[in-house]
């Protein structure tokens, strides 16, 4: 509570864009003798809590890594459970975020999902299209390398000459948004796992041992305080 009150007085210090790798669900469940799917359910509940809290404290863009292009390699049972959870996520977004001024956006190749999920994705985008509050980016079937390849191919359609960094940037899934200031990865893993490879060039990274279902608003507060201790030079002296 003291941390939150302190930052209420320093709202300008809240990073505009925070990205989080929601990692550690399976290990959370295994530590408790539960199936991995139980961890994903716990992680889904935490997704709602952290999203609401981030909007409350003034984060302008929140990007959550929910399912990577590589996650299709997991067992059929686990992938099936994740697809059911995504359906639940989206149905709850339509219901629970109805009164919230949160705009929901999707990063990744959503054409890979079944027709029911694709229809829900379009419904969520349409319902939240004109909202002016925090932008919630859900990275679903997302891969950083695939995103860059997609952006280059789209840039080539527009420009048959020399492709610049700006040409690529305007065709990324996050076109028009600021790059993340802070990328957080709970779970103890210390790698970026193909997440926001282009956008994270000058992001501050914070790796935590906490597993995602145990990641609390106080952990987000602490991460923001750590972010403000750092000096960002963007390659300068």
Cβ atoms 139, 64 nearer than 8 A: yes
Catalytic-residue membership of 71: yes
The CA distance from 82 to 102, in Å, is 23
Return the closest-CA partner of residue 184 out of 147, 213, 220, 134: 220
Catalytic residue of the set 13, 71, 159, 179: 71
Can you give the C-alpha Rg of the chain in angstroms? 18
Q: 133 — phi, psi (to 5°)? A: -90, -150
**Cα distances (Å, whole numbers) of residue 48 to 104, 137, 224:** 13, 13, 19
Active site residue 109: no
Judge contact between 135 and 103, C-beta under 8 A. Answer: yes
The catalytic position among 13, 23, 105, 159 is 23
Give CA separation, 203 vs 13, 21, 121, 136, 187, in Å: 15, 14, 28, 18, 19
Q: Which two tokens stand for residue 162?
A: 């020399």
Residue numbers annotated as active site: 23, 71
């Amino acid at each position: 509570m003291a941390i939150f009150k302190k930052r209420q007085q320093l709202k300008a210090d809240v990073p505009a864009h925070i990205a989080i790798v929601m990692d550690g669900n399976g290990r959370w469940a295994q530590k408790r003798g539960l199936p991995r799917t139980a961890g994903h359910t716990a992680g889904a509940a935490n997704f709602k809590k952290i999203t609401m809290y981030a909007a409350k404290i003034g984060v302008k863009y929140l990007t959550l890594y929910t399912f990577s292009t590589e996650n299709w390699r997991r067992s059929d049972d686990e992938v099936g459970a994740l697809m059911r959870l995504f359906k639940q996520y989206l149905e709850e977004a339509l219901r629970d975020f109805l009164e919230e001024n949160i705009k929901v956006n999707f990063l990744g190749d959503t054409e890979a999902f079944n027709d029911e999920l694709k229809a829900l994705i379009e419904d969520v985008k349409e319902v939240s299209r004109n909202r002016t509050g925090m932008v919630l980016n859900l990275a679903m079937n997302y891969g950083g390398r695939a995103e860059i390849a997609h952006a280059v191919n789209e840039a080539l359609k527009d420009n048959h000459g020399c492709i610049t960094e700006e040409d690529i940037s305007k065709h990324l899934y996050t076109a028009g948004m600021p790059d993340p200031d802070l990328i957080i990865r709970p779970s103890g893993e210390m790698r970026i796992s193909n997440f926001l490879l282009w956008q994270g060039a000058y992001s501050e990274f914070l790796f935590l041992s906490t597993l995602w279902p145990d990641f609390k608003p106080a952990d987000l507060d602490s991460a923001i305080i750590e972010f403000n201790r750092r000096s960002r030079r963007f390659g300068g002296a």
